[in-house]
A and B are shown apart, each in its own frame.
Chain A
Amino acid sequence: MPRWPKPAEGSWTEHYPELGTGTVSFHDSVSAEFYELEREAIFKRAWLNVGRIEDLPRKGSYFTKEIHIANASVVVVRGMDDEVRAFHNICRHRGNKLVWNEFPREESQGFCRQFNCKYHGWRYDLEGNCTFVQQEDEFFDLDKADYGLAPVHCEVWNGFVFVNLDREPRQTLREFLGPMITALDEYPFDKMSERYDFEADNNSNWKVFADAFQEYYHVPALHPQQTPIAVRKPGMGVECAHFQIDGPHRMTTTGGARRWNLPPEYQYPVEIATRSGLLGPWDGPTIEPLPAGLNPGGVEPWGISNFQVFPNLEILIYGNWYLVYRYWPTSPSTHHFEAYLAFPPARNVRERVEHECAAVMFKEFALQDAGMLGGTQAALETQVVDGFPLNDQEILVRHFHKAVADWVSA
């Protein structure tokens, strides 16, 4: 008997009939040809989240982003007018990479008054205008106004900075995000300015890795240690309380008693000692009211809500803190992974330790996913089997691969 009621059709999957219930192929995660199609159809057309407004704290703040799959390097900068803009990280003279620090292939960030090219000293202001050309009179009919940095469409939603590499984006950012995501307009992401950032280079296709974070069916099998051994039940299953799909985006909500409201044997001693742990601080400043968009299924009691923004962004909201994952394809079988946890800034050491405990426990279990998924990729690449059954708790995996296929074939 399922704990949480299924929709009238009998399952979440059948509630969205366009998904079907048959087996799925993961050829999209091993094929070099498909990778090329994703490059053009997805990563050069969709809105891609590259950072947050807090990464650009003041005028002149900038960061660069390597988007390998789009063969692009983008510099994002807050101008003197406080506007956030993005440009291709290419000098207009002879194509040198403009903004980099020690190593041109690595991302950089900082603060500056203008951009100087290391090659011939051309300069650009923070709005992208070319302001200085070394030995300008050696050129022929050069009008600096024609040689500003090539712009990249850039929009900000609730502090998340997005770029779009299309010449003309087919939708505004808000249109792209759609109602389910923009219902988070009132969530105060900008108050969560204490960050713990992580990076990895993983040996799996970006989608194989993303799939592990859009279903909780795997938790009792791969992460049994999330439950102290005294209360661990073999065959324990997981059910999410609500699933929802909106265009190419999807989300799930869990429900039930908060971990810290369970009897003490359900937490580890360090969690009890720090009053924090896998699901974050037990106490801390609360956000009232929580925006309705956070719990579109009206789940009582609410657990967490996990929003998957197409193509490669996850925003998982725990209540008074949240985390973000991004998956950047670097080849059909590898990707660069970014994650961060964001809390309201600790006001004292006790809160700092609560955040540390949450960040440390997060990494432990993320390492289990990463450790295994390299094996998943290798096994998929044998292509011995193709045609995999997905259950109702894996509806978001099903939808994700369908959304990717839809964009590629559009």
Chain B
Amino acid sequence: MSPRYPKPPEGSWTEHFGLDTGPVSYADSISPSFYERERQAIFRRAWLNVGRVEQLPKAGSYFTKELAVLNTSIVVVRGMDDEIRAFHNVCRHRGNKLVWNESPDEETQGFCRQFTCKYHAWRYGLDGSLTFIQQEDEFFDVDKSQLGLVSMHCEVWEGFVFVCAAREPEWSLREFLGPMITALEGYPFDRLTSRFGYRTEVRANWKLFMDAFAEFYHAPVLHSKQSPDKYAVAAREAGYEAPYYAVEGPHRLVSTSGVRFWEMDPGSLKPMEVMTRGGLFGPWDKADLGELPAGVNPGRCKPWGLDSFQLFPNFVILIWGQGWYLTYHYWPTSYNTHVFEGNVYFLPATNVRERIAQEMSAVTFKEFALQDANTLEATQLMLESGYVEKFPLNDQEVLLRHLHKVVGDWVEQHAGVPA
């Protein structure tokens, strides 16, 4: 059967990006020692997205983030000067965890004028400086200016807050993001502030879950039961092809053509989708976001469904044609577990009907994600058995090949480089 969409001149996207076409190994996803190398070579060097500026609405707003992959906990805070800073969540007196609320191992957020350590009441300003030591004259030669909170590089791009654990980042944030991503500047992220957040622990390596979202080859099969049979059978027979892929530095993109659910006959739709006028691809009534930047739908797909931008290492921004977007984060917690965060963003609803359409989309998203997570845990177990070691990838799975190659390259190049 000939492809629906034209392939690049080399005959395949895989060859177009200069990638090898042979079977791949997943040794990088089942190895504790490889995970340790990833932590040093990738997570300690790259810019990592930890949140958005809307989580820090005013001076004194803060949130904490547990970053097991960096073996640290950080507090991100908007200072009185409106600057956003990130610090390691450790008091300089005796190393106590500084910012926590109900329980020290849980993330927290809020608003405060200063940080006070619960242990001995040392105080820090929002800029990390040590401002108060209880019974200071009991100390010996203590210099408060040397005992501020240990900071982490922190930069903001289009409202996304990034941190970098390197002593000196090798790239500025914009350099790291590169032209394919910075071409999204002007997309109204700051207006889509109605957020639905999901978080779960997945018993699979972080890259395997990223892989699941980097191809839609699986969609007609894994998610077939999410659609009425009439639709599912047709989709499965047709298979899946993406009209456009792109690769830029360590980042990658896939665009899809989109399904015009509202034009399909009702037999192909779930009754709830018809009632709520929402579903997997979002609310049927497209939100008007104005003119979108050139970086959106760079392949000029018509019709256009979505763009899934995979930002190295562990961050996905998925922009939907219907006028909303979502993000995925995959936070490794061990060589075969990670915390998955999904956030779905809409324009604030102006009425109940809109709110319901959004709810339907958010709920549907979660249903699909659960199927992905479930199958992943089984995949991890089987990979770890070691009985099969080589796996063929097709052209629609080109982005998986790219992710694993970039990971391998970073780890390889970093070997022997001093911290």
Contact = CB atoms under 8 A, between A and B. Distances in A.
Contact of B91 (A237, A374, A379, A391): A379
Give the contact-size bracket for chain B.
20 to 34
Contacts of B95: 26, 376, 379-380, 385, 388
B134 A237 contact: yes
A382 B88 contact: yes
Interface string A257-298: 000000000000000000000000000000000000000000
A374 B118 contact: no
Given A385-B95, A391-B135, A393-B135, A379 B89 contact: yes
A375 interface: yes
A381 interface: yes
B94 A375 contact: no
Contacts of A374: 104-105
Contact of A384 (B90, B93, B94, B139): B90
Given A384-B150, A388-B92, A375 B97 contact: yes
A375 B142 CA distance: 24
Contact of A26 (B94, B97, B98): B94
A381 B105 CA distance: 13
Contact of B138 (A221, A235, A381, A392): A392
B417 to A, nearest CB: 20
Interface of B is mostly: loop
Contacts of A397: 94
B157 interface: no
Contact of B140 (A11, A218, A237, A385): A11
A16 B13 CA distance: 74
Interface in A167-223: 211, 217-218, 220-222
Given A222-B118, A388-B94, A375 B140 contact: no
B93 to A, nearest CB: 6
Contact of B96 (A376, A383, A390, A393): A376
Given A217-B135, A375-B96, A380-B95, A385 B119 contact: no
Interface string B81-119: 000000011111111111010011100000000001111
Contacts of A383: 71
A239 B141 CA distance: 19
A237 B135 contact: yes
B135 A382 contact: no
Contacts of B59: none
Contacts of B140: 11, 13, 21-22, 389, 391-392
B408 to A, nearest CB: 28
B134 A221 contact: yes
Interface string A358-400: 0000000000000110111011111111001111110001000
Given A217-B120, A237-B135, A384-B150, A389 B93 contact: yes
Nearest to A372: B118
A388 B118 contact: no
A384 B98 CA distance: 13
B182 interface: no
B73 interface: yes
B85 to A, nearest CB: 15
7 contacts: A235-B134, A372-B118, A375-B104, A378-B73, A379-B97, A380-B95, A391-B140
Given A237-B135, A379-B91, A384-B88, 20 more contacts: A21-B141, A218-B120, A221-B121, A238-B135, A372-B96, A372-B119, A376-B94, A376-B95, A376-B96, A379-B90, A379-B96, A385-B90, A385-B95, A385-B150, A388-B93, A389-B140, A389-B147, A390-B94, A391-B135, A397-B94
A-B CB proximity, top 5 nearest: A375-B104, A375-B97, A221-B121, A391-B138, A21-B140
Interface of B: 71-73, 88-98, 100, 103-105, 116-121, 134-135, 138-142, 147, 150
